[in-house]
Amino acid sequence: MSVRLQISAMLFLMIQALAFFAATLVLLLSPFSREAMSLMPWVVAGTALVSMPLSWWLAPRLRARTWRRDGAMDLLK
């Protein structure tokens, strides 16, 4: 299992939780709140589809090698 996949899997859980919270909040505060229970599977699937590519895109940016290569570690000293 690659490092990018491992980081992406950990990020997916956090991004999914935040996206689900935001989507559920929007759903419950919208006029569709009466149909919330029937729309909830769509919210789960939609946030999962958004979270997967986002976590895959963010994963390489969290590696220490990227920070050292870009010179960002000099700012932390």
- Residue ranges per domain, the chain? 3-76
pTM for the whole structure: 0.76
H helices of the chain, in order, are 3-29, 36-58, 64-70, 73-76
Instruction: Quote the radius of gyration of the chain (alpha carbons, Å).
Output: 17
Instruction: Write down the residue that tokens 């935040």 correspond to.
Output: 18
pLDDT single digits (tens) 11-22: 999 999 999 999
CA angle 29, 17, 62 (to 5 degrees): 135
**Above 60 in pLDDT, residue 66?**
yes
Query: Which amino acid, residue 27?
Result: L
